[in-house]
Amino acid sequence: MTTMTLFHSPLSPFVRKVMVLLHETGQQDRVALQAVNISPVTGDDQLDLDNPIGKIPALRLQDGTVLHDSRVICEYLDQQHVGNPLIPREGSARWRRLTLASQADAIMDSAVSSRYESFLRPEDKRWDGWLEAQAGKIRRSLANLEQEHLAELTSVFDIAAIGVACALGYLDLRQPAFGWRERQPGLAAWYAEVSKRPSLAATAPMA
Ligand SMILES: N[C@@H](CCC(=O)N[C@@H](CS)C(=O)NCC(=O)O)C(=O)O
């Protein structure tokens, strides 16, 4: 039975994180999806009422409480099922995994804002140096994941792995020529494997 409403767009990597977590924890039937089509300059009236910052995802609970952003929503939903937690509840694992998840979110932030810069901003106002700086952040983050965190990523499919998979999926969607697979073959092999998971296959963004 659906008891919650998720403000949703199929192309948002932040929304996808929430959807993957719902699939992985068997909770997708508890959430109704409310489609929104927004950008930083075109909002959605209902969303703005529920989340004053006007961003997705936002999750309305049965009692009307609204949760945002994706980190808070994932943490909430991870405490609503009885299986293994996808966010470690305590100890050093919690901080390690959340930091990796934060790195994945930062890749998404850079990729989403690059999309806005190259697609939304009027052409005469675009700033190549700024786009290059975002690309640098993404390149450094992916190199760091390959060099320092591949074993951790491979060890368990949890919030960190969900985040990295969603970040890579969004990069492929918006910047297919970014070329990360050649630079990070280990990450590419990991991604090819986890992409077979039903949760990722069911939520893959289609342009
Ligand atoms: N930190 C937020 C980021 C969410 C975000 O940037 N969502 C984008 C869609 S991918 C959005 O709502 N953009 C509209 C805007 O920036 O006003 C989260 O983790 O949920």
Residue 12 domain boundaries: 4-78
Atom 6 (ligand 1) nearest CA: 55
Mean of pLDDT values over 113-118:
96
Residues with CB under 6 A from ligand 1: 12, 14, 38-40, 54-57, 69-71, 105, 112
Distance 182 CA to ligand 1 centre (A): 29
CATH number for the domain spanning 160: value is 1.20.1050.10
User: Do 191 and 104 reside in the same domain of the chain?
Assistant: yes
Nearest CA to ligand 1 atom 11: 55
Q: How many CA atoms lie within 13 A of 40 on its CB side?
A: 10
Helix (H, G, I), strand (E, B) or coil at 206: coil
102 in the same domain as 16:
no
Q: Which of 78, 109, 127 is the last residue of a domain?
A: 78
Q: Which residue has the tokens 């075109």?
A: 42
Given a contact cutoff of 8 angstroms between Cβ atoms, the answer to whether 87 and 74 are in contact is yes
Question: For residues 173 and 195, what is the distance between their CA atoms, to the nearest angstrom?
Answer: 14
**Domain end call among 78, 103, 124:** 78
| pTM as predicted | 0.98
Pull the structure tokens for residue 57.
């995802």
Would residue 205 count as lying in a domain?
Answer: no
**pLDDT tens digits, one per residue of 162-178:** 999 999 999 999 999 99
Dihedral sign from CA coordinates of 23, 2, 79, 69: positive
Q: pLDDT of 52-76, one tens digit each?
A: 999 999 999 999 999 999 999 999 9
Domains of the chain: total:
2
pLDDT tier at 207, thresholds 50, 70, 90:
confident
**Of 18, 46, 78, which residue sits at a domain end?**
78
Handedness of CA 60, 66, 67, 69 (dihedral sign): positive
List the end-to-end C-alpha distance of the chain, in Å, as a whole number.
30
CA–CA distance, 24 with 18 (Å, rounded to integer): 10
CATH number at residue 18: 3.40.30.10
